[in-house]
Structure 1
Amino acid sequence: MASTISVLDLPPEITSVIFLHCVLDECGPVRRSEEYGPERRFPTLSEELAPLLLGRICRRWRSIAWSTPELWTMVEVDCPLCIDDVVPHLERWLLRAGSLPLTLDIHYDALSHTSSDALLRLLQRHSARFQDLTLNITPPDDLFRNEMVGALPALKKFDLIGATIQYSGGLQDWDGTITAFKVAPKLRDVCFMNLSPSKIDLPWGQLTTFRAESITVAECLLVLSLAPGLVTCRFDSFHDASGPAAVPPLLHLKSLILQSEFNYSTDVLKHLTTPTLVHLDAGELELDIWSAFLTRSQCVLDRLAFTDDPAMYRPVTYRQYFDALPSLSELKVRQVGQSFYELFRLLKACPLFLPNLKSFTDGVDLYRPWHKNGAELAQLVIEMLEARRRGAADNTRLEKFDLHETRGFVGSSRLAERLRVLVDGGMKIHIEGSESWGR
């Protein structure tokens, strides 16, 4: 006869492990996008969610949860207007973590009706254990008073998010300088949003990862000059501004992402020398600046994403842009024009053109004109894929092809069959609308 065991009869060690999985399942990463990666989620002070919910089931579970420090090492706190209501709950939470490193995500509105001193004193008491800290604040007021923060010997990752520019009193409008994070010997990873790097003292020389949003070109260059040890760097929504541009060679930089609504990528690249760069994601690449950058850097790029300007790129220039990149294995092109189809012809006819290309992605472009001969273009694409699949070494064959914008394509059942042969042979192919070719 089978016996049953009540969940309440499990050993405390097993129950603790189950509790940890409850938190991990509830707060696991949410996939946001390929570019930005997973969005982090943390436990909150809500009694309707783990781990606080676990303590409401029974006295035994509450005792086990309260005495499991790993449950309390991460928390997201959204401070209301009355901060005094939050501080005692947060204090108890952090004390339950014992001596373990802490991950905090604090959303704080300094326009509250109560003083932030209680919150500041709490942060000071536990600052020696901060390992991963996110501060989303509006505006900074006295939250960065150096004497109120305390030592940061364990801090490795720091995200600082200020008020957006349209709100007055945000970090962009603040006249002070943040000095509270200047001494953090383990800090390597920093993210800014709506904050000028000139307004904060950091141990720039030891940083390896940096991301910023809503800063100027001059501030981008300032960061790169202050942090020569960066390995990965990303600038989003940056805009134009004049200023000094003396940037020493970036001898460790492997990944650089320059995302801007307007074409300011070249304003950054023309000042850079990046001999170890393997991944570049940029806007439009002016040929003169691009060629000078490659000649100066002598980098061996493996991944490249860029925005094609239909008025700038001519069929003859594609070889000029890519002939110096025989190492390229991944290529993504956004917002392309009619001349872009010449790239298919080069890939089909010239085995030595981008010989190591394994992945090709064509970004969606709502402005690309319809091709005057859609059947010819669809035929060209299939022939290019077939040419890139045969006659090359196994380790250099095209393995992935994404074509998102196919307005004007005229496919056929015969082309669809040839496409299926390629897919059956192991190539991962997505051509928008090709599902209808076999009809």
Structure 2
Amino acid sequence: MAHIDPKASRAADRSRILQIDAEIQELEKRLRLLRIERDGPQKRLEAYKYPVLTLPNEIVSEIFVHTLPLYPACPPLIGPASPIPLTHIGRKWREIAITTPQLWRAICVSACGQGIRRKQTEVVRTWLDRSKSCPLSIQIEKQKGNHPVLQEIDLHRERWEQVVTETTGSALRSFFKGSMPMLRNLSVTMQDDTGVRPAVSPVDLPRLRRVSLTWFRYPVDWLPCAQLTSLTLNAMHSPNYIPILRHAIHLVNLTFIGCDLFTRSEAQSQLDIPLTQLTSLVIVASNVVRVLNLISIPTLHTLWLSGGDLGDFPMGTLCPLISRCGNGKLRKVLVVGHLSRGVSKKAFRSAFPTISEISFNSRFRFDARQEGDEEDSGDSDEEDSDSHSSG
């Protein structure tokens, strides 16, 4: 084995260290030059203001609000269509989103089975806190009990402006109770036929104006009928809704969908319920003749009808009824669905020359109608593409 001279080895190590130190000095010099070179672009970038970040917070807040469905429609609690992703973009936008109450004022929850968990209750509590003093739009799907999330919502009852719920009688009573001073719009779909009455009276609902009732099988004497301006009755029996009509003297919009509409003898004994301010009437999947014979509507402007309800001779069915409808003020008739086979739409228009617009539509949009909107999709038939105008 060759002998290594310790003296020579130490000399080699010292030489290598000097070489490494020289390389380090060169690299450090290069790093200094690179840092100096980087300072220029870095300062220019820091001085640049992205246009979106120069917007006032109020403008950003308004943009955020427009990313959601138009109030009172409710966005989902979580997911990309929720306002929550707006809090994940950056610190500034998170602060703006959290402090914009309008983003958190419309809340939709599912109150059955596994639909409500502890996390969802916490999310709802957060939304309610962030909504500050804003009026609230509440949508509850399939309400079956008094779950903690409903208790959270109930704490803010004084701010309810719109409530849409599918519920049982007992759940409605436990949830819908006490004074609701801001409630304007109410839509309730019953899931059973129990006669449980909500723990409210008309004085608890001083601002209620728009009501939609589905599948109510008992009297609705807790409604402030005299102040209602819009009423939708869906799958209801006449003994339950006739008292409402008799007291709803300020109705402007009225909708019947699949309602039980009297026997002939009942109709004869209860003619001419006065609805003297009604301007829009919708009758879908119900008996058109009996409805129009029941009510007095001297100011009616717009009449929606289901073509399938008019029978085989729609002109003959409607002629005597329209003649007493609106006292000449009826200006628009919209026929939804399809007329009986063989009925000419051109002849239908000709039969009513005093009506300036008669339209035909294959669909009826219940949701849009609730918001006071009309949709005339029309038929592909060229004859039906234009409305009829009287000379």
TM tier, smaller:
0.5 to 0.7
Task: Tell me the residue number matched to 1:156.
Answer: 184
Paired residues, number: 316
Task: Tell me the residue number matched to 2:140.
Answer: 106
Task: Determine if the alignment matches structure 1 residue 298 to structure 2 residue 327.
Answer: yes
Give the AA of the match of 2:88: R
CA–CA separation in structure 2 for the residues paired with 1:252 and 1:215: 23
Give the AA of the match of 1:212: L
1:266 Cα shift?
1.2
1:59 Cα shift?
3.7
| Paired residue secondary structure (1:144) | helix
Question: What is the 5 A alignment of 1:36-55?
Answer: 41-55=73-87
Task: Tell me the residue number matched to 1:422.
Answer: none
Task: Determine if the alignment matches structure 1 residue 239 to structure 2 residue 257.
Answer: no
The alignment-based identity, stated in percent, is 22
| Paired residue secondary structure (2:123) | helix
The 1:221/1:53 distance shift into structure 2, 3 A limit, reads same
CA–CA separation in structure 2 for the residues paired with 1:198 and 1:299: 35
Give the AA of the match of 1:205: A
Q: Which of 89, 106, 124 is 1:90 aligned to? A: 124
Task: Tell me the residue number matched to 1:412.
Answer: none
Quick check: 1:102–1:132 contact (8 Å CA) kept in 2? yes
CA–CA separation in structure 1 for the residues paired with 2:271 and 2:359: 35
The 1:245/1:84 distance shift into structure 2, 3 A limit, reads farther
Task: Tell me the residue number matched to 1:205.
Answer: 226
Quick check: 2:334–2:361 contact (8 Å CA) kept in 1? no
Q: Which of 79, 83, 95 is 2:111 aligned to? A: 79
The 1:336/1:17 distance shift into structure 2, 3 A limit, reads same
Question: What is the 5 A alignment of 1:413-428?
Answer: none
Q: For residues 358-403 of structure 1, what are the alpha-carbon distances to aligned partners after superposition, in whole Å with 9 as ceiling and x for unaligned?
A: 5444567xxxxxxxxxxxxxxxxxxxxxxxxxxxxxxxxxxx9966
Task: Tell me the residue number matched to 1:21.
Answer: 66
Task: Tell me the residue number matched to 1:253.
Answer: 278
CA–CA separation in structure 2 for the residues paired with 1:55 and 1:342: 57
Question: What is the 5 A alignment of 1:34-433?
Answer: 41-82=73-114, 83=116, 85=118, 86-110=120-144, 116=146, 118-137=148-167, 139-145=168-174, 149-163=177-191, 170=192, 173-180=193-200, 182=202, 183-196=204-217, 198-199=219-220, 201-242=222-263, 245=270, 248-260=273-285, 264-282=287-305, 283-284=309-310, 287=316, 291=320, 294-295=323-324, 298-305=327-334, 334-338=338-342, 340=344, 343=347, 347=350, 358-361=356-359, 404=380, 429=386
1:153 Cα shift?
0.7
Quick check: 2:124–2:149 contact (8 Å CA) kept in 1? no
1:96 Cα shift?
0.7
Quick check: 1:217–1:267 contact (8 Å CA) kept in 2? no
| Paired residue secondary structure (1:141) | helix
Give the AA of the match of 2:196: G
Query: Which ranges of structure 2 fall in alignment gaps of 5 or more residues?
Result: 1-43, 363-375
The 1:231/1:46 distance shift into structure 2, 3 A limit, reads same
The 1:274/1:161 distance shift into structure 2, 3 A limit, reads same
Quick check: 2:214–2:235 contact (8 Å CA) kept in 1? yes
1:251 Cα shift?
1.0
CA–CA separation in structure 2 for the residues paired with 1:15 and 1:338: 57
Quick check: 2:143–2:171 contact (8 Å CA) kept in 1? no
1:63 Cα shift?
2.3
Give the AA of the match of 1:20: V
Quick check: 1:68–1:96 contact (8 Å CA) kept in 2? yes
Quick check: 1:270–1:293 contact (8 Å CA) kept in 2? no
Give the AA of the match of 2:170: D
Quick check: 2:255–2:282 contact (8 Å CA) kept in 1? yes
CA–CA separation in structure 2 for the residues paired with 1:241 and 1:401: 32
| Paired residue secondary structure (2:161) | strand
Q: Which moved more, 1:45-54 or 1:355-364?
A: 355-364
1:334 Cα shift?
4.4
Structure with higher helix content: 2
Quick check: 1:220–1:268 contact (8 Å CA) kept in 2? no
1:76 Cα shift?
1.6
Quick check: 2:361–2:377 contact (8 Å CA) kept in 1? no
Quick check: 2:258–2:284 contact (8 Å CA) kept in 1? yes
Higher Cα Rg: structure 1 or 2?
2
CA–CA separation in structure 1 for the residues paired with 2:378 and 2:88: 50
RMSD over equivalenced CA pairs, Å: 3.8
1:121 Cα shift?
3.0
Quick check: 1:81–1:109 contact (8 Å CA) kept in 2? no
